[in-house]
Structure 1
Amino acid sequence: MRTKSGESAVVLVLCCLSLLLLSPIALSEKCNPQDKKVLLKFKKELNNPYFLASWDPHRDCCDWYCVECDIKSHRITALVMKSSFPDTNLSGHIPPSVGDLPYLENLEFHKLPGLTGPIQPTLTKLTKLKYLFIEYTNVSGPIPPFLAQLKNLQILSLSTNNLSGSIPSSLSQLPNLEYILLDRNKLTGPIPESFGSFKKPGPNIDLSHNQLSGSIPASLGQLDPESINLSRNKLEGDASVLFGSKKRTRVLDLSRNLLSFDFSKIDFPKQSLVSLDVNHNKIYGKIPTTLTKVENLQQFNVSYNRLCGEIPQGGTGRLQDRFDEYAYLHNKCLCGSPLPKCK
């Protein structure tokens, strides 16, 4: 026989269960409460954009748009802010609160034109960060030397922003860096000599579409990355240190600079080289016959230089067959197929 007090207890339990079922905040929420608090502050610092409408405080933040959590710890490990639309209604600086996500490994801001201001120093608190992408934004100011404190960083991409000033030499202190992409900004000054001290073989480098000047540091010859793009700058002098038959270089783009060196003395990676572009420079000498032994060359351009002599024939590279006249035009006295015959 059920007592009155027992019936009351049953009713109370049922009422509590029904409230839990109806409540938008379920007991099974995985998101760490502190991480969630930080993200809501982050959203507020960006003026609560519609872009982050899914960031509802009554929902599990591991299910929010742009957010990824670790499957075991449920701590936030990735914040990927990408947009395919020109108007995201997102505006403001990079929120300082992002530095309060201690387990973050991947941070991306991509195609967010309303994102402005400098790179925040609070990023130095993200000691686990492996991937930092700030791309196609209006973030401005210098590249801060403090990024060298992110010792676990593997990819640093600051491509297509309004960054200015010189490249900090301290970036070479990043021991795990595999890619450094600083292209399409307003950077000035020389390539740091310290870049030659990157841990071998060195990161893939893209410094193109800036206003860098001076000579290419001889120390860069000590590195052996698969890709180097220094195009569309104001670099001068000798670039021969970047070449070598034993290197593993696949892509080398030095086009549209003021470089001047004897091309006939260059030796090339015979198996790895896929793309070589040196157009619009002041390179002189002949096209070396060693280039005909490069087996997998798919893109090649030496136009608008000061080269002379006959284009080498034969070999596995097949320079005369594989590339048309536009790869050779506007040199001092180059001749032979696909250009007019030598006199």
Structure 2
Amino acid sequence: MGTAKLYVLFLYSLLLFSAVTAAELCNPDDKNVLLQIKQAFNNPYLLASWKSDTDCCTDWYQVECDSTTNRIISLTIFDGELSGQIPDVVGNLPYLQTLEFRHLSDVRGSIPTTVSQLSNLKLLRLSYLNLTGSIPPSLGNLTGLTFLELSSNDLTGAIPSTLSSLENLDAIHLDGNQLTGRIPDSFGFFNGKVPDLYLSGNSLTGPVPTTLGKLNFTTIDLSRNLLTGDASFLFGKNKALQQIDLSRNLFEFDFSKLDFPAGLTNLDVNHNKIYGSLPQDLTELNLQLLNVSYNNLCGMIPQGGKLQSFDQTSYFNNRCLCGSPLQACSK
């Protein structure tokens, strides 16, 4: 083949390559939705890379496209200045698997109910924002969710019982809001995985549903609420429980009758009305955290295991608890 023909072939290949690379990968419907989201937030600097004349799959930050379909599968906006409400149009990204708005300066308003249309969603994180209103019960339709975090907002109202329909959840974070009412009975009937449960820092009232005692939770955090009554059924010798925080509530039960799971590492029940004594079984646990202060406990702190590795703040302000690291018991 002559030099001239080789040169022509090279030019043709170069032009063909340029044409292919110039072709936009981003789905036009997805791109239009993202531009509407940008406009709803008044075209912030945080979304400066979202330009109508560039490819959202290759040139835009905070988004990710599927390598096969080129549809938007991830929208993650976090750690920056963003002001406004999450627009309803966010529900028009049908292939979305991850949706995150977190640690943003002034994202307010309610959770759009259109989020419930995102049937492929696996991770939903709307946290450290200024969201108000109630949790949409329709979020229970997102049965593919493996992670739900709505923590550190100003959400109000009751916890929707429909969230127990989320059978694939690894964790549910509703902590740090202003939620009221009772923990739903349905939370004792998760249809599938038993998620780590974080409900701390709300204004939940009433007793913990006994149905929760039938499930094998790994982590439960019910701290800093107004919960009452008996929570001893959350414990059990054969349970998988590793971390439990019941602190700063109004729980009242006999601590001496508890059976502790062998894998329990974090136990915090401070600031309640718990009575009885500390069981000898506590010395058999590999505890990393222990706090039983500000209760009505009595008797001698068992000697051995990890119990003396904690200082007196883990034990003080009980009715008549004594022994190391507190003062010696009177004879």
TM-score by length of structure 2 reads: 0.92
Matched, 1:192 2:187: no
How far off is 1:201 after superposition?
4.8
CA distance in 2, matches of 1:267, 1:290: 8
1:211 to 182, 203, 213: 203
Per the alignment, residue 283 of structure 2 pairs with 292
Q: Deviations over 1:272-325 (max 9, x none)?
A: 11110000000000001111111x2110000000000001113xx3312x1111
Per the alignment, residue 70 of structure 2 pairs with 74
Partner SS state of residue 162, structure 1: coil
Q: Is the 2:222–2:247 contact (alpha carbons within 8 Å) kept by the matching residues of 1?
A: yes
Per the alignment, residue 317 of structure 2 pairs with 330
CA distance in 2, matches of 1:292, 1:26: 66
CA distance in 1, matches of 2:42, 2:254: 56
Per the alignment, residue 6 of structure 1 pairs with none
Matched, 1:308 2:303: no
1:226 is matched by which residue type in structure 2?
T
How far off is 1:241 after superposition?
1.1
How far off is 1:173 after superposition?
1.1
CA distance in 2, matches of 1:283, 1:241: 14
1:237 to 229, 239, 263: 229
Per the alignment, residue 29 of structure 1 pairs with 24
Matched, 1:112 2:104: yes
CA distance in 1, matches of 2:202, 2:155: 10
Partner SS state of residue 128, structure 2: strand
1:74 is matched by which residue type in structure 2?
N
Matched, 1:167 2:167: no
Per the alignment, residue 4 of structure 1 pairs with none
CA distance in 2, matches of 1:151, 1:199: 10
Q: Is the 1:267–1:291 contact (alpha carbons within 8 Å) kept by the matching residues of 2?
A: no
Per the alignment, residue 7 of structure 1 pairs with none
Structure 1 ranges of 4+ moved more than 6 A: none
Number of residue pairs matched by the alignment: 318
Partner SS state of residue 132, structure 1: strand
Per the alignment, residue 260 of structure 2 pairs with 268
Per the alignment, residue 5 of structure 2 pairs with none
CA distance in 1, matches of 2:237, 2:200: 24
CA distance in 2, matches of 1:273, 1:250: 4
Partner SS state of residue 32, structure 2: helix
CA distance in 1, matches of 2:73, 2:192: 28
How far off is 1:26 after superposition?
5.7
Partner SS state of residue 42, structure 1: helix
1:193 is matched by which residue type in structure 2?
D
Alpha-carbon RMSD across the aligned residues, in angstroms, is: 1.9
**Structure 2 regions of 5+ residues with no counterpart?**
1-7
Partner SS state of residue 141, structure 1: coil
Per the alignment, residue 178 of structure 1 pairs with 170
The within-5 A match list for 1:31-180 is: 31-62=26-57, 63-83=59-79, 85=80, 88=81, 90-180=82-172
1:31 is matched by which residue type in structure 2?
C
TM-score by length of structure 1 reads: 0.89
CA distance in 1, matches of 2:75, 2:23: 22
Matched, 1:278 2:269: yes
